[in-house]
Structure 1
Amino acid sequence: MAKKIGTGTYLLEHAPSAAAYAAIVGQMEGEGPLGACFDYVEQDSYFGKDSWEQAESELQRRTVGTALQKAELTAQDIDLILAGDLINQCTGTTYGLRGMGIPLLGLYGACSTMAEGLALGSILMDSGIARHIVAATSSHFSTAERQFRFPLSYGGQRTPTAQWTCTASGAVVLAPCQNAPYLRAVTIGRIVDYGITDANNMGAAMAPAAADTILRFLADTGASPKEFDAIVTGDLGLIGSKLLCEILQKEGVDIRKQHRDCGAMMFDPEQQDTHAGGSGCGCSASVLCGYFLPRIRTGELKNILFAATGALMSPTASQQGESIPGISHLIHISADKKGGN
């Protein structure tokens, strides 16, 4: 049974496994530095469908299917799926998974959705109420741009602080302790709002929330950043990553040697015109599933913190002049079921 300590950290007694995982991305993501890490790179941005929204649903469906295949399980073996996306009413998830017949808890944590799904799924697994749970999410450049910014046909100029919403999806099959990677602890994020109103500066809006959650985990567990091979944030991008390190340094915590950001890793800023880096639910999900989890399984990495970040904005609130609240959920993932902090 998960044990709560401190301000919102839960130690997982049975440390469920990430038994299988999959990541599928679009063409631009496949052309980036991590292209070889993903299970599949789709060249057709429509994924063979008639609209961007249908494309994202197909993307998430394929990714979940690939993870199940790698786990040698069928949809009937899954007790519960925790999934969501960026589109209104989680359209990508609802229409992508509707044919699978798996009990669904739909989530909206913006770009923190993968960490939210893993956090809830691992706590549920640790309680013993399920044997197999899937955590999944997705994003698509064109669906996100249409909903949160400008229609693509508008041709608007993107500011230097803007990030590129990734066409990507990640899925993890959680199972009772089998082999590494193990999920050892989770810290549930709090809403943090520093008054940022620029929808093209997501890194600045989310960095304070990432700092809050990382500080709480370290305080709750008594751990030091030096104990981790990597402290991974979701998609702060180049600007938000710098801001995160500055905030933590002011609190006496230096993570500069350990910090990696999925949004900064996804694209090559010199060769790809993505400005401040990648973003979107699928950004951190695909980098986690394609890059980090395989390296934990092989033992190349021993302990990481995965702190995906989300901007809890809506077009309606933004149009009313509201600021952008941020949130970050954190998972401690390890190659060792008992070792580490």
Structure 2
Amino acid sequence: MTEKAKRKSKIAGKQSVLFTNPPYIIAGAGVAGKKEGEGPLGSLFDIVKEDPMFGKKNWEDAESELMKEAAQEVLKKAGMKSDSIRYLVGGDLLGQLIATSFGIAELNIPMFGIYGACSTMGEAMSLGAMLVDGGYAEKVMSLTSSHFAGAEKQFRMPLDYGNQRPYSATWTVTGSGAVIIAKDNHKKAGNNEADIVIAGLTTGKIVDYGIKDSMNMGAAMAPAAFDTIKQNFEDLDVKPDYYDKIITGDLGYIGKNILIDLLKEKGYDISSNHMDCGIEIYDKDSQDTHAGGSGCGCSALTFTCYIMKQLRERNWTRVLFVPTGALLSQVSFNEGNTVPGIAHAVIVEAV
């Protein structure tokens, strides 16, 4: 962190926090579905499941199993058992967070269930880091998940209906990502990789540009990403090149262009160092995902298995990780409401 960013107060500007003792991300794990495993990042995922049902009888139970396996894998990678974790912070896209509540129940960890739509990983990591830095926990697990079929069933059309998807639509990622955030780094002797810390965060606001097309999530979420990223620059008094990468969660090709244009209007050009998880996770030409990937699992998988790797290998030193979410439900959409967006930014550094 630069001298400019080092402050006695943890509060930075209007919406940001800079930790005086940045918590460590000591382990990350990602479990993906078959389609995700066939994409450009497939070889990096810890587990790829060929069966979209994950051995269960319905899509919702499949997602719970997906999340449970991600939680178990991150504990395994950290060399810990569940009773080492003080709190679990997590959520998913399903009504009343049923993928999370059924998925992690047997871990017997005190839980904060949260909902930020596809921004949930950013929210979970933000709250987990605050708990650790504030002295309320030594170790916290933050995690989330999504499942293509479960999301289609809840938010759009049952798969059996066979409806046509417009080119603006994104493909919900079947995947789950989990991290363990801790006060101490637990670095193993002889390990030459960089440690990873959460240096700060910028909490997003609900932003609504009046978008009503539920099949164009990129357009709905891009204004929220713009608002949070701009606020981060202002709160920290930095320029886009302060970060090696500015990484949004799942804007896809349409949302990416909107975001870049909105920031350019305010004098910020992120075109050279912006990356979107929804673009990275699928191959546009061969996997027929239209505008890219989406879902809570999109940013979670990309972060735990790709972004963390780049930081550990010191290819990147500092990134702004900005998962993005569209805050709609079946009820709000059917009643003709707009699709508000939100984005939570997490400053992650290699040290």
Partners of 1:110 and 1:194 lie apart in 2 by 17
In the alignment, structure 1 residue 30 sits paired with structure 2 residue 37: yes
| 1:292 matched residue in structure 2 | 307
In the alignment, structure 1 residue 121 sits paired with structure 2 residue 136: no
Consecutive aligned runs of 4 or more in structure 1 exceeding 6 Å deviation? none
Partners of 2:92 and 2:278 lie apart in 1 by 17
Alignment match of 2:76 (pick from 58, 69, 74): 69
| 2:103 matched residue in structure 1 | 96
| 2:4 matched residue in structure 1 | none
In the alignment, structure 1 residue 226 sits paired with structure 2 residue 233: no
| 1:132 matched residue in structure 2 | 139
| 1:255 matched residue in structure 2 | 270
Amino acid aligned to 1:202: M
| 2:190 matched residue in structure 1 | none
Question: Offset at 1:68?
Answer: 0.5
Partners of 2:151 and 2:343 lie apart in 1 by 20
Partners of 2:282 and 2:314 lie apart in 1 by 25
The Cα offsets for residues 196-253 of structure 1, whole Å up to 9 and x where unpaired, read as 0000000000000000000001000011111211100000011001110000001110
Q: What secondary structure is seen at the aligned counterpart in 2 of 1:102? A: coil
Question: Offset at 1:277?
Answer: 0.3
Q: What secondary structure is seen at the aligned counterpart in 2 of 1:53? A: helix
Greater shift in the superposed pair: 176-185 or 78-87: 176-185
| Contact 1:15/1:177 (<8 A) preserved | no
Of all paired residues, the percent bearing the same amino acid is: 45
- Matched residue count: 336
List runs of 5+ in structure 1 lacking aligned partners: 337-341
Amino acid aligned to 1:23: G
Amino acid aligned to 1:298: E
| 1:339 matched residue in structure 2 | none
Amino acid aligned to 2:202: T
| Contact 1:3/1:13 (<8 A) preserved | yes
| Contact 1:81/1:135 (<8 A) preserved | yes
In the alignment, structure 1 residue 203 sits paired with structure 2 residue 210: no
Partners of 1:249 and 1:331 lie apart in 2 by 22
Amino acid aligned to 2:207: V
Alignment match of 1:187 (pick from 188, 197, 202): 202
| 1:42 matched residue in structure 2 | 49
In the alignment, structure 1 residue 11 sits paired with structure 2 residue 10: no
| 2:231 matched residue in structure 1 | 216
The Cα offsets for residues 130-180 of structure 1, whole Å up to 9 and x where unpaired, read as 001000000000000000000110100000100000001100000114162
Partners of 1:177 and 1:4 lie apart in 2 by 22
List runs of 5+ in structure 2 lacking aligned partners: 1-7, 188-194
Normalization by structure 1: what TM-score? 0.97
Partners of 2:238 and 2:184 lie apart in 1 by 23
Normalization by structure 2: what TM-score? 0.95
| Contact 1:262/1:278 (<8 A) preserved | yes
Q: What secondary structure is seen at the aligned counterpart in 2 of 1:317? A: helix
Partners of 2:110 and 2:184 lie apart in 1 by 22
| Contact 1:2/1:126 (<8 A) preserved | no
Alpha-carbon RMSD across the aligned residues, in angstroms, is: 0.9
Partners of 2:158 and 2:118 lie apart in 1 by 20
Q: 1:277 to 1:327 in 2, by over 3 A?
A: same
Q: What secondary structure is seen at the aligned counterpart in 2 of 1:55? A: helix
